[in-house]
Amino acid sequence: MRILVAGGAGFIGSVLVPHLLEAGHDVTVIDRFYFGPTLDAAKERFGERLRIFKDDIRTFDPRIVFQQVEAVIDLAGISNDPSCDLEAHLTESINIDGGKRLATLAREAGVRRYVYTSSCSVYGHGAGLGLTEASPRNPVSLYARAKCEVEDFAMALGRDSKGAFETVALRLATVFGVSPRMRFDLAVNVMTKNAYVNRKVSVEGGGKQWRPFVHVVDVARAMHLAATAEASKCAGRVFNVGSDENNVQIAHLAYRVRDAIPSTELVSVGTDPDLRDYNVKFDTIREGLDFHTTRTIDDGIQEVLAALRSGKVDPDDRRGYTLRQYVFLREAELTAQSLAIHGHILGTA
Ligand SMILES: NC(=O)c1ccc[n+]([C@@H]2O[C@H](COP(=O)([O-])OP(=O)(O)OC[C@H]3O[C@@H](n4cnc5c(N)ncnc54)[C@H](O)[C@@H]3O)[C@@H](O)[C@H]2O)c1
């Protein structure tokens, strides 16, 4: 099967794409490559089975990109709260309009299965413990509101198609682990990095807030299942992706990181309470898709630590910090606009 991964060069995508290729699928990627050339190794290894379009979900030509595609996994977009808050109109254009465009064009192109990547952050300030897919959503950020809107849009497209367009929404827990597009702005990864580099771990927002976590390889496994399982198991359904055991309070996560890295100091930062507080249940994906996670938070801490120690990941690379990279790209764009003559700054046409 050929699977299109939109946003396939990102943190999750650059792990998912080789995972799908190894499983025997052909893969098409569309991505702006805002975080660098993260698929070079996969391209080298899998050659023509991996088709790459450096293009934008808001403007690509569906006649080329959707060729032979049977399933789409949408990972594209601005991927955290502070980056989404930088410029609301850009977030709306990419995360909402772009997400809806991709789903609409996939359906028109005759794609059978559509997997939308949502987030457990749609639960926002969760009422109580053990939130399920049926619990009320209470998004507290533009990022999460956009997830709710596109989730609803894609699921409605599926319902209206009367079985022709099978839609699945995956609400991911906060992801951790190592990827070719490393992210040091996700809680497990950033705490491990700070403990390793500064011997300090900060606990913000009080520390009592619950958060579910999931390893990036387990996310890739869940996406593979959602894209290929029989329709009776997943079409029209929403799944939380993670595992009950990987729900932790932020202060407890900090204790675990401190315990893994000797002489690390815990620092409590007096910030406003973190509104994102959710403890989530994962029965639906376990029972519906027989999905079980394979990596614990402690595995992730050890993996990130080993990658830092070996130099496999660089904690100083700006591209590992989503907000910093988007601020940099925005400033670069504004600078180029103000200086360029006929598209050039130092050179000439
Ligand atoms: N990482 C997590 O903890 C987590 C948790 C829940 C949900 N998600 C969702 O999963 C998806 C992937 O997250 P990630 O961690 O891999 O983020 P990421 O930022 O690493 O990846 C997003 C990718 O989208 C690309 N992109 C951005 N705008 C684009 C556009 N207009 N056209 C084409 N490509 C574009 C970027 O270049 C990037 O490669 C996102 O939708 C995110 O909201 C992530």
Q: Tell me, yes or no, if the pTM score tops 0.95.
A: yes
Instruction: Report angle CA 171, 225, 61 to the nearest 5 degrees.
Output: 75
User: In this structure, is residue 152 part of a structural domain?
Assistant: yes
pLDDT above 70 for 163: yes
Give percent of the chain above pLDDT 70.
97
- 262 CA → ligand 1 middle, Å: 33
- 74 CA → ligand 1 middle, Å: 9
Give the pLDDT confidence score for residue 129 in this predicted structure: 82
User: In this structure, is residue 205 part of a structural domain?
Assistant: no
Asked if 72 and 115 count as a contact pair (C-beta separation under 8 A), the reply is yes
Q: Give the end-to-end CA distance of the chain in Å, rounded to a whole number.
A: 44
Q: How confident is the model at residue 349 (pLDDT cuts 50, 70, 90)?
A: confident
Asked if 180 and 39 count as a contact pair (C-beta separation under 8 A), the reply is yes
Average pLDDT, the chain: 95
| DSSP run (H or E) holding 226 | helix 216-228
Give the pLDDT confidence score for residue 133 in this predicted structure: 97
Which residue type is seen at 245?
A: E
pLDDT above 70 for 274: no
Mean pLDDT throughout 215-222? Answer: 98
SS3 279: coil
Q: What is the pLDDT of residues 14-39, one digit of tens each?
A: 999 999 999 999 999 999 999 999 99
Give the pLDDT confidence score for residue 126 in this predicted structure: 64
Give the pLDDT confidence score for residue 204 in this predicted structure: 86
Q: Which of 52, 57, 75, 213 for a ligand 1 pocket mutation test, highest count of atoms within 8 Å of Cβ?
A: 75
Q: How confident is the model at residue 268 (pLDDT cuts 50, 70, 90)?
A: confident
Mean pLDDT throughout 329-346? Answer: 94
Atom of ligand 1 nearest to the CA of 216: 1
As a whole number of angstroms, the distance between CA 328 and CA 322 comes to 10
CATH number (domain holding residue 12) = 3.40.50.720
As given in the structure block, the two tokens for residue 105 are 């064009």
Lookup result for tokens 């699945």: 168
Q: Which of 79, 105, 218 for a ligand 1 pocket mutation test, highest count of atoms within 8 Å of Cβ?
A: 79
Nearest CA to ligand 1 atom 18: 10
Q: What is the pLDDT of residues 201-213, one digit of tens each?
A: 999 888 988 999 9
Give the pLDDT confidence score for residue 273 in this predicted structure: 62
Around ligand 1, the residues with Cβ closer than 6 Å are 7, 9-13, 30-35, 56-58, 75-77, 79, 94, 98, 117, 119, 172, 174-175, 181, 183, 186, 322
Q: What is the pLDDT of residues 107-151, one digit of tens each?
A: 999 999 999 999 999 998 766 789 999 999 999 999 999 999 999
User: In this structure, is residue 99 part of a structural domain?
Assistant: yes
Which residue type is seen at 252?
A: H
User: In this structure, is residue 326 part of a structural domain?
Assistant: no
As a whole number of angstroms, the distance between CA 203 and CA 223 comes to 31
- Partners of 202 in the β-ladder: 267
Nearest CA to ligand 1 atom 29: 77
Q: What is the pLDDT of residues 70-118, one digit of tens each?
A: 999 999 999 999 999 999 999 999 999 999 999 999 999 999 999 999 9
Mean pLDDT throughout 239-257? Answer: 96
Give the pLDDT confidence score for residue 90 in this predicted structure: 96
Give the pLDDT confidence score for residue 272 in this predicted structure: 63
Asked if 289 and 222 count as a contact pair (C-beta separation under 8 A), the reply is yes
- 267 CA → ligand 1 middle, Å: 30
Please count the structural domains in the chain: 1
SS3 290: coil
User: In this structure, is residue 238 part of a structural domain?
Assistant: yes
DSSP secondary structure letter of residue 94:
I
Mean pLDDT throughout 40-60? Answer: 98
Least confident among 6-10, 30-34, 237-241, 263-267: 263-267
Atom of ligand 1 nearest to the CA of 80: 43
User: In this structure, is residue 285 part of a structural domain?
Assistant: yes
For residue 281, what are the domain limits? 2-182+213-247+275-297
Q: Which of 4, 11, 188, 214 for a ligand 1 pocket mutation test, highest count of atoms within 8 Å of Cβ?
A: 11
- 167 CA → ligand 1 middle, Å: 19
User: In this structure, is residue 80 part of a structural domain?
Assistant: yes
Atom of ligand 1 nearest to the CA of 14: 16
User: In this structure, is residue 341 part of a structural domain?
Assistant: no
